[in-house]
Amino acid sequence: MTTTRRTYLKGALFSAVALSPMFPLACASAQSAQQNGFNVRAYGAAGDGVKLDTDAINAAIAAAAQAGGGTVYFPAGRYLSFSIRLKSNVSLYLDSGSVIIAAEPKDGSGQYDLPEPNEWDAYQDFGHSHWHNSLIWGEGLENLTIAGRGLIWGKGLIRSGPGARRKLKAGDMPSSLGKADPMGERLREGAVYGAEMVGKGNKAIALKNCRNVVLRDFSMLKCGHFAVLATGVDNFTIDNVTVDTDRDGFDIDCCRNVRVANCAVNTPNDDAICLKSSYALGKARFTEQVTITNCQVSGFDLGTFLDGSLQRTQVKAPDQEGVCGRIKMGTESNGGFRNITIANCVFEHCRGLAIESVDGGIIEDVTVDNLSMRDLTTSPLFIRLGRRMRAPEGTPVGAIRRINISNVVVSQANAPFASIIAGLPGKPIEDVRISNLTVEHCGGGNAEDARRTLPENEEHYPEPSMFGVTPSYGLYARHVRNLQVHHASLRTTGIDARPPVVLDDVDGVAFDGVRFAHAAATPTFQLQSVRGFVLRDAQGLRDIASTDYSRATLQEPQ
């Protein structure tokens, strides 16, 4: 039989619609979930935002699990709920117009599941140590999906909790951003650690020891301490999820085989996308095989990313630094990080990229490529090896090695802080390569700033501000071995009396193809205890072949 042109075009049009990556597939998924799934309305959910729907939602999930698996369908409506307990082989589908709202534990209406015991809660904050006290949680499960174009609104979640139980060191600040109170002094005799959290929830989605998990297409608003806390989750995908929240966006802790793609995460008060490797599972476990691609992170005022107004009235986070909203590895860093790729991401009105090991973990084999940053509140690049050591006694200091950063462009970088690479005396950060870097700082540093000697602060919570104003405006490196900087441009929009680059205790360093602007009579490089310094094709300076400097400045001839 001959296929007519009209029949062929009709078939081609149908195929194109079916294969469209946007709306048509979403419609098909919604129709399938509605027709073949477990509709929460059929199990008694009112969806009016007034009546509690917790029991109906959990009944629908239990029915799907009992049937061997299936999709729990949320049609348009407002579903007020306390803890929703996930099951293996069960998907949640949030149709357009559906909102899951975290209930508020008041007037005896209900409460969130209790935080489960964790004998290892001495080594990370309360929020990292418990999963059940959440709006949606699962433990020891497999084959989970939460998808659809609906919204998860953590209206009744709280954004804080106790700090770590072990006594904090001087200068250490728990990531709960509360006061650094040593728990032994704060708790009265007979008091129970975390008692104030009973009945309360502080996470929107919490997953522990799960595998084969997909989060896709939905949005999240005001989600407490964590929008997503995933600990020990393997084969994990977060795709096209939009978050506008109080504290951390995605915390990916002790996880393997992770893909975060096409997400927008706005978090003015904490980190947007954060890789961690805590001791919450009772062992040191790497976070590894992670790809973060095509994502946007920011620190606009809470709620103004989802409504599109992108307001910037908030100028500080609760830790009294500039707004946060960045991509970070650490601070919890017992197990370490390896085989990590971060590519094609945009940073706007937030802190820069942070790579931190301070609790004994090893960070190695990290590739960062194609970052665009604008209106930064701290250092564009911050790489820190420290010894805070929230870890079992006897844990050695960690290591950072083999970091490759390329194709980074930054404008409106915060004046006080250069990019910082800071190891420890006798424990250098190793093998860092930076290429195709363009940074435009705001300027404003003075001659006194240029003379500063930065404190080591080995045990402090790692933030660029731990050192104070840096003596260079562009790059500060101390206790580093094998540093290469290729094809970099550093400049300021305002007058700055600091040199572009300060190196201190650096062994094996090469700069080539660099263009560094600076004020008249200000050196390009300030060097102290630098060995094997190589310079090629640096604007205004002669080439140098492997020279040692105990103390020197390199300056263009006047």
Evaluate whether 322 touches 315 at the Cβ level (below 8 Å): yes
Per-residue pLDDT band for 189 (boundaries 50, 70, 90) equals very low
pLDDT at 195: 74
Q: pTM score, two decimals?
A: 0.91
Per-residue pLDDT band for 185 (boundaries 50, 70, 90) equals very low
pLDDT at 36: 63
Q: What is the mean pLDDT of residues 273-294?
A: 98
In whole numbers, what is the pLDDT of the chain averaged over residues?
A: 90
Element containing residue 515 per DSSP (H, E): strand 501-516
Q: Say if residue 26's pLDDT is above 70.
A: no
pLDDT at 165: 56
pLDDT at 33: 60
Q: What is the mean pLDDT of residues 11-21?
A: 39
Q: Say if residue 495's pLDDT is above 90.
A: yes
pLDDT at 159: 87
pLDDT at 13: 35
pLDDT at 429: 98
Joined tokens for residue 271: 């980190």
Q: Say if residue 190's pLDDT is above 50.
A: no
Distance, in Å, from the CA atom of 200 to the CA atom of 353, rounded to the nearest integer, reads 32
Q: What is the mean pLDDT of residues 257-279?
A: 98
Residues 6+ apart with CB under 8 A from 345: 292, 293, 294, 295, 296, 297, 327, 370, 371, 372
pLDDT at 42: 97
Q: Say if residue 65's pLDDT is above 50.
A: yes
Q: Which amino acid is at 504?
A: D
Q: What is the mean pLDDT of residues 424-429?
A: 98
Q: Say if residue 28's pLDDT is above 70.
A: no
Q: Which amino acid is at 50?
A: V
Q: Of the candidates 405, 409, 422, 384, which has an alpha carbon nearest to the alpha carbon of residue 490?
A: 409
- By DSSP bridging, strand 77-81 and strand 98-102 are parallel
Per-residue pLDDT band for 317 (boundaries 50, 70, 90) equals very high
Percent of the chain with pLDDT over 70: 87
Q: What is the mean pLDDT of residues 425-436?
A: 98
Q: Say if residue 540's pLDDT is above 60.
A: yes
Per-residue pLDDT band for 107 (boundaries 50, 70, 90) equals low
Per-residue pLDDT band for 30 (boundaries 50, 70, 90) equals low
Joined tokens for residue 290: 């992670």
CA angle 313, 316, 322 (to 5 degrees): 110
pLDDT at 29: 63
Q: What is the mean pLDDT of residues 318-346?
A: 96
Residue of 22 and 504 predicted with greater confidence: 504
Residues 6+ apart with CB under 8 A from 140: 208, 209, 210
Joined tokens for residue 158: 């709280």
Helix, strand, coil percentages for the chain (3-state, nearest 5): 10, 45, 45
Domains within the chain, CATH numbers bracketed: 36-163+196-536 (2.160.20.10)
Residue of 189 and 468 predicted with greater confidence: 468
Q: Say if residue 34's pLDDT is above 80.
A: no
Q: What residues pair up with 211 in beta bridges, in sequence order?
A: 142, 234
pLDDT at 193: 64
Distance, in Å, from the CA atom of 358 to the CA atom of 30, rounded to the nearest integer, reads 45
Per-residue pLDDT band for 160 (boundaries 50, 70, 90) equals confident
Buried-state track 366-403, b at ≥16 Cβ within 10 A, e below 16: bbbbbbebbbbbbbbbbbbbbbbbbbeeebebbbbbbb
Tokens 């960070």 map to which residue?
363
pLDDT at 199: 86
Q: Say if residue 361's pLDDT is above 90.
A: yes
Q: Say if residue 557's pLDDT is above 80.
A: no
Q: Say if residue 24's pLDDT is above 70.
A: no
Question: Strands, DSSP E only, in 458-499?
Answer: 475-492
Q: What residues pair up with 371 in beta bridges, in sequence order?
A: 345, 408
Q: Say if residue 150's pLDDT is above 70.
A: yes
Q: Say if residue 390's pLDDT is above 70.
A: yes
Q: Say if residue 186's pLDDT is above 50.
A: no
